[in-house]
Chain A
Amino acid sequence: MSKYHVNKKGYYGPFGGAYIPEMLYPNVEELQQKYMEIMQEESFQQEFQELLKDYVGRPSPLYLAKRLSARYGANIFLKREDLNHTGAHKINNTIGQILLAERLGKKRIIAETGAGQHGVATATVCALKGLECVVYMGEIDIQRQAPNVARMKMMGATVVAAQSGSKTLKDATNEALRDWINNPIDTHYIIGSVVGPHPYPDLVARFQSIISEETKRQLTEKTGNSLPDYVLACVGGGSNAAGMFYHFLEDEQVKLIAVEAAGHGIKSGESAATTALGKEGVLHGSRSILMQTEDGQVTEPYSISAGLDYPGIGPQHAWLYKSGRGKYVSITDDEAMQAGLLLTKLEGIIPAIESSHALAYLEKMTFQGNENVVICLSGRGDKDLDNYMKYFGF
């Protein structure tokens, strides 16, 4: 049973499901029927765990950031997903899905990507397995993220420019879904977040759940208690948060805080704070909370962080938000950039701007001595140097 209590049809409360056209039904149904069985096979688990250890470099450290802790008056632990191969948590999911695709007999892999992190993680596992890889990326993002495009190409992937709509992540996802419709037999679609039709939100959350599984163990070793007081993670689509929350969901005393990107501010018209600005809707095959016009047209989100720049959130997040189990907050570009610089100066760690959003929320919290806080440091900041340089004028 998934800790998110997804039902057989892929619903988390009123959210989730599989709102897909009939053309996608055979693909999605095949996945629905087989994913649990395959993931539970001993040979699957063995290969998955081995790759996570020897290829990705897991377990990722849980690091007690002493200087950061001193500043905020709490014990702040960073879950170092930034130290994974390819620099972020994204690889946990692509490793899992490539093994799944192999066992489904698929020969061709497609993926969508925004900033290119998930595209790189997908191209990586395709190189590892020698499978054909096509990555859809918005035309505008291709221009903005040249190094990641080069990485994907070096690994043998074909990068296709999504030229429809706003030419960013949402449109890249549309193009990947269209490709899947047109290639129904031999292709597996590796979605990069806890979005898309059931079973993707569950599947991706399960592959990312390794983050909280390790955290519990590591916290026990370090503090004698597997449960922290707070767990924080940033949310775009929500995959690192889904994995970071996973094994704490049933421990009601652990407060879960999801940090969305407010961009220039919630009321600025340039924001990606989905729970603050969105309402219930259907996009990319699932029912969730969605930024949209009154007429139901999906609006283009904005954040300085390309990885949080998505108009929806995974259905399990919509449910955690609505049910009150999770607290959903938002952080502006400016707050995130400052938090990124602060971590760099205090701890010598340059975080991805996505992760900086989670860090920035520390400023807004008050601690009552000795509380334990875990923050998912979902990715490293190498990819964002350009942005940091421009912002701070280094």
Chain B
Amino acid sequence: MHTQDIFKSDNSKGLLSIYYTAGYPNLDSTIAIAKKLESAGADFLEIGFPYSDPIADGPVIQHSSEVALRNGMTLQCLFQQLQDLRSHVSIPVFLMGYFNTVLQYGVENFCKSCQAVGVNGAIIPDLPIYEYEELYQDTFKQYGINNIFLVTPQTSEERIRKIDNLSHSFIYLLSSNATTGKNLEVGAQAEQYFQRLKDMDLKNPLVIGFGISDRETFRKATTYAKGAIIGSAFVRVLSDDDYMNKIESFIKGIKT
């Protein structure tokens, strides 16, 4: 199956995606963690590239970014590590990070490097729709890199439709308007909003993120969406000295 097909297939559901920061806890742990996640049952990955000023992130991911930067992680270093990505990992991989690092690397260079190593797309929270459309969409398309957009409970229907038209992979649905790593209760209000999105019958599948941390929140989210993303809760696992041995049980604890 082509890596991207899991988002299109009607058969796939309950997809689990895991976010982690490249270069954390060790500079060279990126590929080892990816392999372990795939074998443990994760369905796709988001690998974060660190930035000094991550305004959308809470303390856990901020800390992982600081450590990664101290370890020497850069986009250049990350692409080097990912050179043989596709001989180790077959599930879809997205890169996630802030726009300034991409801008300095060069947007076209970034897309080219993503294509070269087999990365499927990018999530750049502070690259807004207008700037993407005006300045960068053609470049992303040229290299076949999917840009993933976020939708929050406050995003208007008109804007969601627009995002749906610009998207070619999935839409990243935020469970609430918040920074990452909040302990969110997926309550009646959130469920109402998930239902509203589900009823819009968008062409792209929805994947819910922010506040998904355990089996219960994952189950709830995936009754409304094709998948859900766990970030901070997993990054916390990586802070354990014995993290390589904890990854499998963490994933199994969510999925079964």
Contacts and interface: CB of A to CB of B under 8 A. Distances in A.
Interface of A: 9, 17-23, 25-26, 164-165, 170-171, 174, 177-178, 181-182, 184, 280-285, 290, 292, 294-298
A297 B49 CA distance: 11
B152 to A, nearest CB: 5
Given A178-B55, A285-B126, A19 B99 contact: yes
B63 to A, nearest CB: 8
Give the most central of B53, B76, B103, B131: most A CB within 10 Å: B53
A282 B154 contact: no
Given A25-B154, A181-B179, A295-B75, A282 B55 contact: no
B207 to A, nearest CB: 14
B69 A297 contact: yes
A165 B174 contact: no
Give the most central of B104, B105, B125, B131: most A CB within 10 Å: B104
Given A295-B75, A298-B53, A22 B174 contact: yes
Interface in B118-169: 125-128, 130-131, 149-152, 154-155, 159
A171 B155 CA distance: 27
B131 A19 contact: yes
Contact of B53 (A21, A284, A294): A284
A298 B100 contact: yes
9 contacts: A17-B131, A21-B56, A23-B56, A23-B125, A164-B62, A181-B179, A184-B154, A295-B101, A296-B51
A22 B51 contact: no
Contact of A282 (B59, B75, B103): B103
A181 B55 contact: yes
A15 B177 CA distance: 28
Given A23-B150, A23-B177, A296 B105 contact: yes
Interface in B79-102: 98-102
A17 B127 CA distance: 10
B128 A20 contact: yes
Nearest to B154: A26
B128 A182 contact: no
A281 B152 CA distance: 26
B55 A177 contact: yes
A22 B55 contact: no
Given A170-B53, A181-B55, A22 B99 contact: no
A18 B134 CA distance: 13
Interface string B37-80: 00000000000000111111011001000100100001110000
A235 B143 CA distance: 41
A359 B174 CA distance: 50
Given A22-B125, A181-B55, A181-B177, 11 more contacts: A19-B99, A21-B56, A21-B126, A22-B152, A164-B62, A178-B56, A283-B53, A283-B100, A285-B126, A296-B104, A297-B69
Nearest to B182: A182
A285 to B, nearest CB: 7
A25 B100 contact: no
Contact of B178 (A23, A25, A285): A23
